Amino acid sequence: MSTDHLTHNRPAGHLRHAASKVPEVTVYFWIIKVLTTGMGETASDFLAHWLGPIPAVALGGIALVAALAVQFTARRYVAWIYWTAIVMVSVFGTMAADTLHVGLGVPYTISTPLFMAALAAVFALWYRSERTLSIHSIHTRRRETFYWAAVLATFALGTAAGDLTATIGLGYLGSAVLYAAAIAVPAVAHRWGGLNAVTAFWSAYVITRPLGASIADWMAVGHSRGGLNLGLGPVTLSWTVAIFGLVGYLAASRTDARSTPKPLIPQ
């Protein structure tokens, strides 16, 4: 699923050059995305146990606002800024889903469709306003706002969906296998079934969340819950190190950044 398919063709007279605020969709993008989902899941649980739920949510919210503020201030895609924001969305998205379930007693069978409806609403408003959901049309403040609202909704939805399947009998490992198979569906449908590239991208993007979270939970939880019993702290730390290494490589190599901005539509 290349990024060239995620842009819309427009008459040349209506185009201008603008720096992209998001990375190229490469294999590194998907690897880091899965790593951030798992790291966010275990980091959220670790902080809730260490600090308590309310201080953890407050700290996560402050860190998320700070990370997004830096991202919005940047004039173009910068690897460490973008992926720091994604990590904080992952942590806070997990907290949002867990707060509904643990704090307010909302079952996953309710929160999952609730977050699904929220994501659908974001996409509907985004498309109605901009006439595109392409990630390479993210060059105005308004489109960037829609983009990050969608990202936050996907993380909350994925958290709830992953916990739902894990608690209805599949367990964390079974959920990981389920979502590993599910993430191949949009890729296959796009390549051989004619599925629109933007739809395929966002479908896979949503699935990365429960996939990574299920794998990380399986590694962290105890044997009595079907896990490897490695612990929340060690799993969070190891996945953070992996993210740091890959993002450092991207920052140095710039393999996921366009050297020449693609022509995009002005607003």
Per-residue pLDDT of the chain (267 residues; tens, 9 = 90+): 444 444 444 433 333 345 678 998 999 999 999 999 999 999 998 998 898 888 888 999 999 999 999 999 998 899 999 999 999 999 988 887 777 777 778 888 898 899 899 999 999 999 999 998 988 778 889 999 999 999 999 888 888 888 889 888 899 999 999 999 999 999 999 999 989 999 999 999 999 989 999 999 999 999 998 999 999 999 999 999 999 999 999 999 999 886 444 433 333
Cβ atoms of 236 and 44 closer than 8 Å: no
Residue 119 confidence (pLDDT): 94
Residue 258 confidence (pLDDT): 63
Q: What's the burial of 78, exposed, middle or buried (CB within 10 Å: 0-12/13-18/19+)?
A: middle
Q: How far apart are CA 64 and CA 254, in angstroms?
A: 25
Residue 36 confidence (pLDDT): 95
Provide long-range contacts, Cβ within 8 A and 24+ apart, for 182-188: 182/207, 182/211, 183/207, 183/208, 183/211, 187/1
Residue 61 confidence (pLDDT): 92
- Indicate the angle between helix axes 171-182 and 141-165, nearest 10 degrees: 130
Residue 214 confidence (pLDDT): 93
